[in-house]
Amino acid sequence: MMQRSSALAAAGGALLILLALPAVRQAMEASMWRHMIVQAPLWIAAGALVAGATPGRARRALAPWNVSGISGLAIATVTLALLMVPRTLDLALVVPEIEAAKLAALFATGAALRLSWRHASTALQFFFLGNVLSMMAIAGMLYMNSPLRLCNAYLLDDQERLGDWLTTAAAVFGVAWLVWITLLLMQRENAYYATVSETAEREKAAAPSARSAGGLKSSVAANHDLPHAKAF
Q: Residue by residue, what is the 3-state secondary structure of the chain?
A: CHHHHHHHHHHHHHHHHHHHCHHHHHHHHCCHHHHHHHHHHHHHHHHHHHHCCCCHHHHHHHHHHCHHHHHHHHHHHHHHHHHCCHHHHHHHHHCHHHHHHHHHHHHHHHHHHHHHHHHCCHHHHHHHHHHHHHHHHHHHHHHHHCCCCCCCCCCHHHHHHHHHHHHHHHHHHHHHHHHHHHHHHHHHHHHHHHHHHHHHHHHHHHHHHHHHHHHHHHHHHHHHHHHHHHHC
What is the per-residue pLDDT for 194? 82
What is the per-residue pLDDT for 108? 94
- What are the pLDDT tens digits along the chain (232 aa)? 567 777 888 899 999 999 999 999 999 999 999 999 999 999 999 999 999 888 888 888 888 888 889 999 999 999 999 988 888 989 999 999 999 999 999 999 999 999 999 888 888 988 999 899 999 999 999 999 988 888 888 989 999 999 999 999 999 998 998 898 888 888 888 888 888 888 877 877 776 655 555 554 555 455 555 454 444 4
What is the per-residue pLDDT for 232? 41
Cβ-in-10-Å burial (0-12, 13-18, 19+) of 171 comes to middle
- How many CB atoms are located within 10 Å of the residue 133 CB? 18
Pair 45, 15: CB distance under 8 Å: yes
Give every CB contact of residue 67 below 8 A, 6+ residues apart in sequence. Answer: 119
What is the per-residue pLDDT for 230? 46
What is the per-residue pLDDT for 54? 83
What is the per-residue pLDDT for 199? 82
Amino acid code (one letter) for 198 = E
What is the per-residue pLDDT for 55? 83
What is the per-residue pLDDT for 215? 56
Burial profile 78-107: b = 16 or more Cβ within 10 angstroms, e = fewer: ebbeebbebebbbbbbeeeeeeeebbebbb
pTM assigned to the model: 0.79
